[in-house]
Amino acid sequence: MWPLFEEAAIHFPPTYKFDAHTARYDSSKKQRVPSWTDRILWKRDPHIRPVAYHSVEGMQCSDHRPIFAQFEVQVDLSNWEGPDEDVPDSRRCWSSS
């Protein structure tokens, strides 16, 4: 379906549709089927490896549950041109919010 993108294997329960502010799946007349509508895709690259892909089940602030992913990314620093004192350690763990 998306040949240029990847998604990690999903090992968490459906993240939509909940009765707002509860842990109960949709109980309205529409009775929507629980599903995984929130996804994280990344461009296919052998230097990117997912290490975590989860939902935040305890967060009940809407009819969705937030999801997050964490990646290990191999970076070639052989051409680093930044200041010497700021040369990053290639094994350092960087995180982004």
What values do phi and psi take at 53, rounded to 5? Answer: -155, 105
Percent of the chain, pLDDT > 90?
Answer: 41
pLDDT band at 90 (very low <50, low <70, confident <90, very high): low
Average pLDDT over residues 11-18: 91
Largest CA distance in the chain: 63
Nearest-5° Cα angle at 39, 68 to 23: 70
**CA R_g for the chain:** 19
What single-letter amino acid sits at 79?
N
What's the whole-number average pLDDT of the chain?
84
Instruction: Give me 29's structure tokens.
Output: 């007349």
